[in-house]
Copies of this chain bind each other. A is one copy, B any other.
């Protein structure tokens, strides 16, 4: 079985993206369910522009995917992540959405 060797530059730039508390929290919320931008804004108490920029970075790095539906944009974890990324995400706690209901939307 071949090993998943990658370029040091590529790995470190992905890890730099992951090395942000807000982005890691986003990823922990995306474990299991897709969420739209306004839900993430709601859950993380982060401004909408800030959220938008974090999501853009994660998307450009291929870590998350977007699905547009009308005005809403739903984000979810990308399947087929490099192993070292998926292990990091597995290590994150599962966020408990509790009785949070999808606002329709914000």
Interface of A toward B, CB cutoff 8 Å: 3-9, 11-21, 23-25, 28, 82-84, 87-88, 90-93
Contacts and interface: CB of A to CB of B under 8 A. Distances in A.
Nearest to A18: B15
Given A83-B87, A84-B88, A87-B84, A93 B15 contact: no
Contacts of A88: 11, 15, 84, 88
9 contacts: A4-B91, A7-B93, A11-B24, A11-B92, A12-B21, A13-B21, A18-B19, A87-B87, A88-B88
Copy tally for this chain in the complex stands at 2
A59 to B, nearest CB: 18
Contact of A19 (B12, B82, B83): B12
